[in-house]
Amino acid sequence: MTNQELSKRILELVGGKDNVVAAVNCMTRLRITLKDKSKVKMQELKATEGVLGVVEDETLQVVLGPGKAKKVTDLFIVDAGVQGGSVSDWKENKEAMKAGQKQGPVKRALKMIADIFIPMIPAIIAAGLFNGLAQLVGQLAPEAIASGTGFIFLLQTMFSLIGNAFLGYFAIYTGVNAARSFGATPALGGMVGAMTIGAQINTISTVLGLNAENPLNAILTTGKGGIIGVIVGVWILSVVEKKVRKIVPDVLDLIVTPLVTLLIVAVVLVLVIMPVTGFLSDVLVDALSVLINSDNAIVSVISGYVLSAAFLPMVLLGLHHGLIPIYAIQLETLGGVTLFPVLAMAGAGQVGAAIAIFLKARKVRNERMQKVIVGALPAGILGVGEPLIYGVTLPLGKPFVTAGLGAGFGGAYVMLTKVMATAWGPSGVVATFLMKTGGMMINFLLGLLIAYIAGFIITMLFIKNEDVANV
């Protein structure tokens, strides 16, 4: 089945054009926002050639695999006649999606976070890789870098330029995407993000007496509040902009609305949002440091094990999107992300469990399961776990648990050795190049190997041949 045929088949099975509100590519999935989920022919969709699995939460997520998901999504957007990306204003679409779309405030908040950050994941990965390469070149040729001339210095500078083109202006990109998610003007959202990193913030802080000798202790300073502050600021922007637009005459809207909106938001942002969210961010980082950056080996081992073992259940519940702001906060305050390498071990546990299931499937001659694993295993090793999760371990039940238990051992090792990444992205072998130093790369690979082996052993011990025979 071609990608075009698959797109049309999926559209037909989800209820046709009239039932689709929005569609977006999410790494290995086509995420579809529907008006009425009851119109979906779920069993036929799951059985469709090319569909590796289906996940139901506030959206319908069709698992298609790396690369293929993006191609099919692009075709699906055209076939369905909808815009790509997130819905512009979740409040306006709530009524359209009410059938089968009941969500609590936490679910809605996590969906908004996903809508803001998912489109930026390719840039986050690319920027992290280039910054990692820049650091690696600096470690391998320190004298050439210190000279400030020559090809090696130019190469490292080019890598840094590309990496910082995104990470240096992360707040601006976040502001633009948050504005799209909240229904504000994207360019104004970018301006709110830019304000938080503007040098004038320090001048204002000095005039108001909110600075300190140590910038880390200042109530207000450039970047204070980080990504959380930007998101809150843009949400207020969306509220203010809509209210102002209702009052201002149409003929003056283009001039008056952005002027008044930005003035109000800027004052609130600088005097309230940045100090408050900065305090909350500091508290969060300090609390996480107790677990993630602890000098106590026992604490590191326990926290690393629990976090890795529990991560995939969080993914199934849709709670993992709430970790993205934590990644961003760590990246801003620590210069790297220590939580991501630990959680990346979760996928490795699935790989080990899948290998064990393959051996058992071969023993009981379950050829269908063997084919599924052979097709999904390379993606799992490269860090795309959905095919293994939704095609192998989750349908069997117990292997999903044993894989998590195995992953915990890899997480414990990575936490103990204090591995730090320059960004976050796919969680498998390819993530190795996101680690900050050569030593951290080696420890990350060792963590993956430990998770593979532990996931394999635990699954072999606790899963019986008959559990695999008839699936």
Q: What is the pLDDT of residues 360-376, one digit of tens each?
A: 988 888 887 888 788 77
User: Model's pTM, two decimal places?
Assistant: 0.60
Percent of the chain with pLDDT over 70: 88
Which is the catalytic residue, given 6, 10, 14, 26?
26
Q: Residues 322, 465: one domain?
A: yes
Q: Residues 227, 344: one domain?
A: no
Q: Select from 447, 346, 422, 321 the least CA-distant residue to 26.
A: 321
- Residue 152 domain-assigned (yes or no): no
26 is catalytic: yes
Q: How many domains does the chain have?
A: 3
- Residue 300 has a CB neighbour count (10 Å cut-off) of 22
Percent of the chain with pLDDT over 90: 31
Q: Residues 336, 375: one domain?
A: yes
**Which of 255, 288, 321 is the C-terminal boundary of a domain?**
288
Of 75-79, 115-119, 277-281, 285-289, the poorest mean pLDDT is in 285-289
**Per-residue model confidence (pLDDT) at position 189:** 94
pLDDT greater at residue 309 or residue 284: 309
DSSP H helices in 269-366: 274-292, 297-316, 324-334, 339-343, 345-363
- The answer, yes or no, to whether residue 53 has pLDDT greater than 60, is yes
Domain span including residue 366: 297-469
Helices 170-182 and 105-117, packing angle to 10 deg:
130
Q: Residues 301, 280: one domain?
A: no
Q: Residues 221, 305: one domain?
A: no
Q: What is the pLDDT of residues 166-225, one digit of tens each?
A: 878 888 999 999 999 898 999 999 999 999 989 899 889 888 887 766 665 678 888 888
**Per-residue model confidence (pLDDT) at position 323:** 72
**Which of 102, 119, 144 is the C-terminal boundary of a domain?**
102
- Residue 449 domain-assigned (yes or no): yes
**Per-residue model confidence (pLDDT) at position 317:** 61
In whole angstroms, what is the distance from residue 421 CA to residue 437 CA?
Answer: 9
Which residues touch 50 (CB under 8 Å, ≥6 apart)? 1, 6, 64, 68, 72
